[in-house]
Structure 1
């Protein structure tokens, strides 16, 4: 398996109260099959998820009921000790210090200055995804925060990300502290009318913004550019949405190289709402996936809607974990 470039999203997993119920839900929803995941077990039951026989994610049974039921993102690092040092220097906190997971690799978990949790993975025998940007696999991630300036600076310092603010695509790198053009992003910074209980990609100032596709190949190279909501030129002057795309160090920042993004949670949402990452999975049919998710006992928090790069929705599984799905546009 090819190694991922430093700072590339390389893995996702979900912590669930009932592992077997999670396997039934995602097996029906994405067509995943499962195998025992002892080699990456962190003390509790764990299952590797496969799509077409290729690794795409892991499901883990929660050992502590106080832990959130949530999907987590992991970024690749070739030196986890050095990355941990940068995290602390940049104002982040370590949640789980580096721990070796058999021969698979070394993992750690951290929180950025806004409190959003993410993981680190230094590969051993396991690099990460064997499949992505295809139906049934990961395709994009983004963090939602109230402390954009601190968070932008943090990810630039820790991972070397180069930022492009939405509406400024193609203009090159946005320097530290220069984010916040007030131009359209993923819409979690917008008004909540389009959704009931939490911000979501559909809840922008226009009520139409979304996010989505891209991610990296196994080498960490972007394949298709992001689907940051409202990234079309016609949306460039919509006020109230603030989104920054991240491109890896050594690349020209912009949609073609973006591997993830940052949006802002504004004061229209409850102060107790934490910062967090939202992870996206590619699907062949967004509407059918949303319908199936609801039928399986999940909840559609943002119904399917069109964005310039396809059709997307935001769902919660039958145990409450939130994720998004994206159907790429049909080639013409």
Structure 2
């Protein structure tokens, strides 16, 4: 079991999902991952902490008042131990703050922003809550990547935000219709996130961050998705890094499963 007690700046550290039908979401993810739940109560808008083997791994909440018509989605949070500084760099590098730094009592501080290509993401400054307590384990966050049509602008933005080092994986240049993928690392460590250039196959899909959850068996997990009321958008299929399946939960939130 890979337990985590903290993350360095720029690492994906947390993900949460907004669900119009929270009971349906709870049933789905319990059937898929074996998650159990802890409701944080009315003072926190009934934000639900999702647990795997007793460790906190993700969050779930109903829509905020006034946002009920927005589509269901998973949101990714990047670690920041200096949230005001991160907010400043977001704006300096062409991003837009959607929710400025705000206190989550006793737990930490958060912001929510949009990068210059239109992909939304969050940043988290830890207090009592330090992020997912499991990583790269069955039912826990294991990878994240931003899908964009503006790779040069996106690379510049996130490099300025956290100083990622870029490692090209795709063979085709930015803007080509082939596979253009970069992995981002922090210092000399292993890559922590990726950037994919969207091609014409993504027509109609806005720029976004994708979250990956680990599974011990992608095919078996995909079968549980169908039985629990979700949908398999793509796959399962093999990749150089593991067997993947792109999943849509009963509320319409999309994420990727990987067995690596």
Interval of TM-score (by shorter of Structure 1 and Structure 2)? over 0.9
For residue 156 of structure 1, what is the aligned residue in structure 2? 159
| Aligned partner of 1:262 among 195, 220, 226 | 195
**Please, which runs of 5 or more residues in structure 2 have no aligned partner?**
none
Give TM-score, length-normalised by structure 2: 0.93
Shift of 1:40: 8.8
For residue 290 of structure 1, what is the aligned residue in structure 2? 222
Segments of 4+ in structure 1 off by > 3 A?
Answer: none
For residue 87 of structure 1, what is the aligned residue in structure 2? 90
Give TM-score, length-normalised by structure 1: 0.73
Superposition RMSD on alpha carbons, in Å? 1.8
Greater shift after overlay, 294-303 or 146-155? 294-303
**Quick check: 2:216–2:259 contact (8 Å CA) kept in 1?**
yes
For residue 209 of structure 1, what is the aligned residue in structure 2? none
- Deviation string for 1:42-90 (max 9, x for gaps)? xx32210000000100111113223231001100101000000000000
**Quick check: 2:19–2:25 contact (8 Å CA) kept in 1?**
yes
Q: Secondary structure at the match of 2:202?
A: coil
Q: Secondary structure at the match of 1:23?
A: helix
Please state which structure has a larger fraction of its residues in strand: 2
| Aligned partner of 2:181 among 227, 243, 246 | 243
Does 1:105 pair with 2:108? yes
Q: Secondary structure at the match of 1:78?
A: coil
- Deviation string for 1:278-310 (max 9, x for gaps)? 111011111111111011111101121122332
Change (3 A) 1:39 1:258: farther
**Please, which runs of 5 or more residues in structure 1 have no aligned partner?**
168-180, 191-239
Shift of 1:11: 0.4
Change (3 A) 1:139 1:160: same
**Quick check: 2:71–2:252 contact (8 Å CA) kept in 1?**
no
Q: Secondary structure at the match of 1:129?
A: coil
- Deviation string for 1:76-127 (max 9, x for gaps)? 1010000000000000000111110001000000000000000000001111
C-alpha separation between the residues in 2 aligned to 1:242 and 1:40?
44
Q: How many residue pairs align between the two structures?
A: 254
Shift of 1:32: 0.3
For residue 60 of structure 2, what is the aligned residue in structure 1? 59
